[in-house]
Amino acid sequence: GLSDRLQETIKKIRGKGKVSEADVKQMTREVRLALLEADVNFKVVKDFINRVKERAIGQEVLKSLTPGQQVIKIVQDELAGLMGGEQSKIQFSPKPPTVIMLVGLQGAGKTTTTGKLANYIRKANNKNPLLVAADVYRPAAIKQLQTLGGQLSMPVFTMGDKESPVTIAKEAIKKAKEDHHDIVFIDTAGRLHVDDTLMEELEEIKAVTDPNEIFLVVDAMTGQDAVNVAESFNERLNITGAILTKLDGDTRGGAALSVKAVTGTPIKFVGMGEKLDALEPFHPERMASRILGMGDVLSLIEKAQANVDAEKAKEMEKKLRTMSFTFDDFLEQIGQVRNMGPLEDLLAMMPGAGKLKGLKDAKIDDKKIGQIEAIIRSMTPLEKSDPDIISASRKKRIALGSGTTIQDVNRLLKQFKDMKKMMKQFMGNTKGKKRKNPFN
Ligand code: GDP
Ligand code: MG
């Protein structure tokens, strides 16, 4: 696929001691395709590529000791720069309540994001939010917000579906002042397409509530369309930021780049799931890596390829998958891992590993690896393949034989167990997803 080709090119260029103009051209060609495939607007791509070329062929790179890496860094820097700095700060009103209005197409994630954002800001900024149900067109919309409010123990202001959203919004602000809410989140209606009636309504809500922020909620999976949507909403409402939802899906997130580049509006947050805590501040560097489809995974692949015998790694993976992984395998893997650098670093690079519980407990101190090897070598073959049989007296024998303590033996047994558990989780996590197997 395309990202494979890009990774090939990047890999080739990364190691180069000298980068020619032809190398840069090939690289930018692949980057260009990757961006287009990631749904970045073509005008944005063109400008971007020109800037990268200029810098990459310039002095900056020629003088560098590692020109290959320098070129890659330029690409990532420029991409991150395009998306702006970290922008998760909210404009709070000096005179409460702060009003935040969420707008966007139907299904973009407005209602969900209203709950998530209120939850986030309540925690991060110690605020007391009021949620406002101003979508009166979909019968379930009010109920949906009320359910979220219930889950968050957060009050929801509604007037049913008989009043106009403009009236509801106006009354909600009054209510917020009465009840001393210092921040108000207005969940508005969406349509399947940008339409004039809706825009007029949103303009009116804006006029009566004077919001400090108008966030456009965009579904990251809508790709190119996101740009047109952002432009339309921005023209009518002057949005102050965008929130990109559903980034937990397969999308590359190129829409993020286009939205920022085309409307000049920063991405403030990203939605990473349906749960109420699945909202994160936007990180431009991470998004840059994601769009290019490389990032940490690439360096992991490089490391693994350079140091691990591919056949062995495959076999190992199969064992992990089937849970027939034994201490003998562990020992062998320790040898291989030793050549790759700290195990912790390696685990940290695995996609999804950051989310794994138990990663900390499974961490293996490099200095202790010698000790671990000694303990494993003191086990009998049966003990190695079935550690469950290791009784107290066996532990004592193993400790003596390896010059360690029973606590050391216990710790290793626990680490081994945790590692198996973690690997199982890891295999489960990535199964079926379009992720690169680092050991393939
Ligand atoms: P609205 O019509 O704009 O109010 O959209 P909703 O808030 O009702 O969301 C539409 C659907 O998208 C719901 O099923 C949400 O659970 C889902 N959704 C919203 N944000 C995210 C996200 O960040 N990730 C995922 N996976 N689903 C999301
Ligand atoms: Mg909704």
Expressed in angstroms and rounded, the spacing between residue 120 Cα and the centre of ligand 1 is 16
Predicted pLDDT of residue 440: 33
Query: Which residues are bridge partners to 271 per DSSP?
Result: 279
d(CA 35, CA 166): 40
Question: Where in the chain do CATH 1.10.260.30 domains reside?
Answer: 295-430
Q: What is the pLDDT of residues 190-244, one digit of tens each?
A: 988 888 999 999 999 999 999 999 999 999 888 777 888 898 999 999 999 999 9
pTM of the model: 0.66
Would residue 403 be called left, alpha or beta, if left means φ above 0 and alpha means ψ between -120 and 50 degrees? left
Report which protein residue has its CA nearest ligand 1's atom 9. 109
Instruction: Say if ligand 1 is within 6 A of residue 246 CB.
Output: yes
The pLDDT of residue 341 is: 54
What span, in angstroms and rounded, lies between the C-alpha atoms of 29 and 34?
9
Tokens of 198: 């809706």
Judge whether 404 is annotated as a binding position. no
H helix or E strand, kind and range, residue 186:
strand 183-188
Computed over its alpha carbons, how large is the radius of gyration of the chain?
27
Tell whether residue 106 is among the known ligand binding residues.
yes
CB count in 10 Å sphere of residue 339: 10
Specify the pLDDT at position 232. 92
Which fold would CATH assign to domain 2-82?
Answer: Four Helix Bundle (Hemerythrin (Met), subunit A) (1.20.120)
CA angle 45, 21, 42 (to 5 degrees): 10
Question: Token pair of 84, please?
Answer: 């702006």
Please name the residues in contact with 5: beta carbons below 8 A apart, sequence gap of 6 or more: 30, 33
| Residue nearest atom 12 of ligand 1, based on CA coordinates | 109
pLDDT given for residue 304 in this prediction: 44
The residue to mutate among 245, 269, 276, having the most atoms of ligand 1 within 8 angstroms of its beta carbon, is 245
Tens digit of each residue's pLDDT (9 = 90 or more) over 131-147: 999 999 987 999 999 99
**Residue that has been written with the tokens 């379009």 in this structure:** 434
* CATH code of the domain made up of 295-430: 1.10.260.30
Note the helical H segments in 15-83.
21-37, 42-57, 59-62, 67-82
* 29 annotated to a ligand binding site: no
Supply the pLDDT for residue 79.
81
Q: Counting ligands in written order, which one lies closest to the CA of residue 245?
A: 1
CA angle, 201 then 275 then 3, to 5° = 95
> Of 244, 235, 252, 297, which Cα lies nearest the Cα of 269?
244
Cα angle: 234, vertex 240, 242; to 5 degrees: 80
Which pLDDT belongs to residue 340?
55
Which CATH number among 3.20.20.150, 2.40.50.140, 3.30.70.141, 3.40.50.300 corresponds to the domain 98-288? 3.40.50.300
Measured between alpha carbons, how far is 214 from 42 in angstroms, rounded to an integer? 27
- Using the 8-state DSSP alphabet, how is residue 133 labeled? E
Which two three-digit tokens encode residue 206? 């804006």
Q: Is 110 one of the annotated binding-site residues?
A: yes
| Tokens (6 digits) for 108 | 């973009």
Q: How far is the CA of 273 from the centre of ligand 1 (A)?
A: 8
**Residue 430: other Cβ atoms inside 10 A:** 17
Candidates 190, 117, 124; CA nearest to 154 is 117
| CB distance 245 to ligand 1 below 6 Å | yes
Ligand 1 within 6 A of CB of 96:
no
Pocket test for ligand 1, best of 112, 113, 250, 274 (most atoms within 8 A of CB): 112
Per-residue pLDDT of the chain (440 residues; tens, 9 = 90+): 555 666 677 777 766 767 777 878 887 888 888 778 777 778 888 888 898 888 887 766 666 666 666 777 788 788 888 777 666 689 999 999 999 999 999 999 999 999 999 999 999 999 999 999 999 998 799 999 999 999 999 999 999 889 999 999 999 999 999 999 999 999 999 988 888 999 999 999 999 999 999 999 999 888 777 888 898 999 999 999 999 999 887 777 777 777 887 788 889 999 999 999 999 988 887 777 777 765 444 444 444 444 445 556 566 666 655 666 677 777 776 666 555 555 555 555 444 444 444 444 444 555 667 788 889 989 988 898 888 899 999 999 999 988 899 999 998 898 788 777 766 665 554 443 333 333 33
Q: Which ligand is nearest to the CA of 222?
A: 1
CB 83 within 8 A of CB 257: yes
Cα of 101 from ligand 2 centre, angstroms = 12
Ligand nearest to the CA of 247: 1
The angle, 0 to 180 degrees and rounded to 10, between the axes of the packed helices 310-322 and 406-430 is 90
Domain span(s) for CATH 1.20.120.140 in the chain = 2-82
Identity (one letter) of the amino acid at 97?
Answer: P
Nearest Cα neighbor of 133 from 119, 121, 124, 154 is: 154
Q: Where in the chain do CATH 3.40.50.300 domains reside?
A: 98-288
Give the ligand with the smallest distance to the CA of 112. 1
Residue 59 is predicted with a pLDDT of 63
Ligand 1 within 6 A of 273 CB?
Answer: yes
Label the pairing between strands 241-245 and 213-219.
parallel
**Whose structure tokens read 């997803």?**
433
| pLDDT at position 432 | 39
CB contact set of 62 (below 8 Å; sequence gap of 6+) = none
